[in-house]
Amino acid sequence: MEKILINRLPMLTYRHLHTNETEIAFPQQAKTADAVFSSLALVRPGGSLPDTFQGASRETREAAAAGPACRIDIPDGTEQELTITVALKEDRPDYAGVFLFRLGKKARLNLTWKWTGTGKPGRCCTASSYEVGEEAVLRVSKIQTGMENTFLCDQRECRIAGGGQADFVSAELGGGDTIVHSRGELDGDHSVMKESLCYAGTGRQRLDLFYHITHHGKESESLIDVRGSLAGQSRKIFRGTIDFKRGCSGAEGTEGDYAVQLDPGAKNISLPLLLCTEDNVVGNHASSAGQLDREKMYYLMSRGLSPEEARRIAVESLVRPVIDRLEPSLQEEALQDIRTKLNHKGE
């Protein structure tokens, strides 16, 4: 199986730390499933990724680009809802595709992604480009479950004009290797981009999460909020960068990565990074990793809850701020999946 390097840090650190990028086995693609759209009225076939689109690596970008491409245009001042389902099947365990979204001025799009599938080994690579116009609002909710032997790579880049907003909320619960590569360009003044993600790693799951939000516009805002638990031999690496460019005065960016390690074999690496060439900005970053809060566990168990129940509640309380921001119809499914995974945490 080919080995590739993904999610390279924008500013490199010591090589001996082995965190600048991740080397990962990249499986071959076989038979691809189809993406299913809740409404075809908005979808036009064709189009190609912008030349500037980077993706997790050249290989993953090209893999996505080898699949079908489609355009979704939301005209000025209109509001639309769309659900895209990628369901991998036993006989078609792979997927590749390109999605090009454009929201006109003051347009709104509520977009739901559902990725699901069986335990058959496979590969799923997507590349999505979002252009959010002036004062447009993009809300994206994604749930990803099952597919415990699948290589998943979700690559997205988002460019936001003045007053525009993009809010990505994801529950990355399934997958064998789950790669997220997200870039945001806050071009316009008062533009906003939020990235929230929760996960519950079990068994030998591996999550490789990369975010890079660049502030250009004045008083622009960004948030990166990643939360979850790691059990068994699962691993997660977080690379989060907020980049304040000269001229983005008054901008504010916050990033946080919060992980609880439920087993000694679980591993977490967190690399929050703030880059800045503008004086008048506020940048916050935080990360925490460790075992469950003993005081909280004691309190919950003092009410009769078993260690397993107390752990479930403590993990749920950690990820709940992200779950609550998912599209309501996805919230219960995400919670149930987390509960199921915690009940079989080492597997």
Token couple for 107: 């347009």
| Binding string, residues 308-327; x marks residues near another protein by CB under 8 A | -xx--xx-xxxxxx------
Between 58 and 299, CB nearer to another protein: 299
CA atoms within 13 A on the CB side of 40: 3
Between 13 and 306, CB nearer to another protein: 306
- Return the residues of window 180-199 that contact another protein according to CB under 8 A: none
Whole-angstrom distance between the N-terminal and C-terminal Cα of the chain?
24
Binding of another protein by 284 (CB under 8 A): no
Between 43 and 301, CB nearer to another protein: 301
Minimum Å distance from CB 211 to another protein? 23
E strands, 57-191, in order: 69-74, 79-88, 95-103, 108-117, 122-132, 137-144, 150-160, 165-172, 177-186
Listed residue (347, 315, 310) closest to 334, CA to CA? 315
Phi, psi (5° rounding) for residue 340? Answer: -60, -45
Query: Helix (H, G, I), strand (E, B), or coil: what is residue 312?
Result: helix
Binding of another protein by 260 (CB under 8 A): no
Binding of another protein by 4 (CB under 8 A): no
Amino acid at 240: G
What are the angstrom distances between the C-alpha of 257 and each of 145, 188, 190, 276?
Answer: 21, 27, 25, 20
Candidates 301, 331, 333, 340: give the one binding another protein (CB under 8 A). 301
Binding of another protein by 306 (CB under 8 A): yes
* Contact predicate 346/203, CB 8 Å: yes
Listed residue (200, 115, 113, 197) closest to 151, CA to CA? 115
Binding of another protein by 328 (CB under 8 A): no
Candidates 307, 329, 344, 346: give the one binding another protein (CB under 8 A). 307
Minimum Å distance from CB 343 to another protein? 15
- Return the residues of window 70-109 that contact another protein according to CB under 8 A: none
Minimum Å distance from CB 238 to another protein? 21
Token couple for 217: 């516009």
Binding of another protein by 285 (CB under 8 A): no
Q: How many CB atoms lie within 10 A of CB 29?
A: 18
Candidates 3, 15, 16, 294: give the one binding another protein (CB under 8 A). 294
From 28-36, 65-73, 82-90, 287-295, span contacting another protein (CB under 8 A): 287-295
Minimum Å distance from CB 131 to another protein? 35
User: 159: which strand partners?
Assistant: 131, 185
Between 100 and 314, CB nearer to another protein: 314
Minimum Å distance from CB 268 to another protein? 20
Token couple for 8: 């390279």
From 34-42, 171-179, 272-280, 305-313, span contacting another protein (CB under 8 A): 305-313
Listed residue (42, 54, 210) closest to 127, CA to CA? 54
- Quickly list DSSP for 137-160: EEEEEEEE---TTEEEEEEEEEEE
Residues making contact with another protein (CB under 8 A): 293-296, 298-307, 309-310, 313-314, 316-321
